[in-house]
Amino acid sequence: MSMKMIRLRSLASSLLLGLFLAQAPLAPARAAELVVGVNLDNPLRASVAQQDDTFAQLKAAGVQVIRNDIKGDLDKGIDFLRRAAAQGIRVQLIVAPEYPPDAPTRPYMPDRFPRMWGGPLLSSADPELSRTAYRALFTALDAAGITLAGLELGNEINWAAFNRDIPLPGMGKILSRQDLRDTPEGQQIAKGFLQYMKVLAALKEERDRSRLNRATPIISAGLVAAPEGGKPFNPKLDAVSLPATIGFLREHGLDTLVDAYGIHTYPSNAQPGDPAARARRSARLREVDLSQCGTASSGRKPCWITEWGFRNQDRTCPSDDAPRAQLVREARAEFARAAAEGRLVGITYFAWDSEPWAKEPSSLSIYRCGGLTESGQLAISPRLN
């Protein structure tokens, strides 16, 4: 065979291979593509100048994804998203269900339960009112040329702070799947979960109609990592276990509506650097917090940790951040393992800085004293460990 014929066959083979690769389905995302971001706490309550200062800090630190909501004023929210995008920052947006004006509510009781928020019951959420709000949101996003990093419906719907179907005071119990079926309290919570699924379906349908955001991942409400059969957070506060919540929602179609399960994890701060304490944190993450995370082959969705963090109570400037930095290194190593297995697709630290009205730094914040702490540098690093 002549050299010319060999070259022609080689060229033809290359063209065929290129055509095959162009038509082949995309490979699953590599672990190195784990989305890494930070939470901003109530940023729309800050002035525009304060918001722009925060964007400058985030950009200088290399942050590309932030998590927050824009509730209250869609025009101001879209302006916030537009200014974030101008700095190369995309938003993992928290959206909420909508409720009719006459929806039953659980009152706020600041004297008895100061961190348990009042408001309408999840079981009274209105799918069609929600659909109207989501359609307006996606229309505004398309018009502004904004693509989100993710969409998360609701927040911590499996405990009393954010799910008003859970009574106050409660039984002092972490409810199981059987409790959702057999107890009056559990049956009421289950009604709310079913209504949540209807709202979630409306969100997905409107997302799918969007021009720019039809591929934006939908994340379930970030769930409290309450263990099955574990002790309650407080003798008067109830929660539904993480396995029971995801199991119930999956039974009613969760996996057809979301791209990831939202998880919140706040591991123990105890004894940083101690091997035994590290082993306990590692076991807790594997056996509880990340226990429900799946892969494509498992039939479950992967997880997206939409809140995680460690407290540093030293509020001096500069603060002693070395113990917390050690804890963050440990957590990032665990997250790297889960990401390598395809069970974890995103981590969003809580939080960048303090709330706009705070008089002192939040113990969870990583931007303090005019700069990013050591633990903050580790938490937002694109490197997995």
User: Given a cut of 90, is residue 34 above it in pLDDT?
Assistant: yes
Strand 119-120 and strand 105-106: the pairing is antiparallel
User: Given a cut of 80, is residue 142 above it in pLDDT?
Assistant: yes
The answer to whether residues 313 and 305 touch, using CB atoms and an 8 Å cutoff, is no
Cα–Cα separations (whole angstroms), residue 267 to 9, 46, 107, 272, 340: 59, 29, 31, 11, 21
The model's confidence at residue 357, banded by pLDDT at 50, 70 and 90, is: confident
Three-class secondary structure of residue 163 per DSSP: coil
Q: Confirm whether 13 is domain-assigned.
A: no
292 is in which domain, residue-wise?
Answer: 29-379
> What are the tens digits of pLDDT across the range 230-289?
888 888 999 999 999 999 999 999 999 999 999 999 999 999 999 999 999 999 999 999
Q: Confirm whether 19 is domain-assigned.
A: no
Q: Confirm whether 142 is domain-assigned.
A: yes
User: Given a cut of 80, is residue 10 above it in pLDDT?
Assistant: no
User: Given a cut of 80, is residue 23 above it in pLDDT?
Assistant: no
Q: For residue 230, what pLDDT is reported?
A: 87
User: Given a cut of 50, is residue 6 above it in pLDDT?
Assistant: no
**What residue has token string 């918001």?**
51
% of the chain surpassing 70 pLDDT:
91
Q: Confirm whether 278 is domain-assigned.
A: yes
CATH of the domain at 148: 3.20.20.80
Q: Confirm whether 6 is domain-assigned.
A: no
User: Given a cut of 60, is residue 121 above it in pLDDT?
Assistant: yes
Q: Confirm whether 146 is domain-assigned.
A: yes
Domain count, the chain: 1
> What are the tens digits of pLDDT across the range 216-237?
999 999 999 999 998 888 889 9
User: Given a cut of 50, is residue 12 above it in pLDDT?
Assistant: no
> pTM of whole model > 0.85?
yes
Q: For residue 232, what pLDDT is reported?
A: 84
The one-letter amino acid code at 222 reads G
Q: Confirm whether 23 is domain-assigned.
A: no
Q: Confirm whether 16 is domain-assigned.
A: no
More confident residue, 314 or 11: 314
- Residue 154 phi/psi, 5-degree rounding, is 80, 180
Cα separation of 242 and 155, whole Å? 13
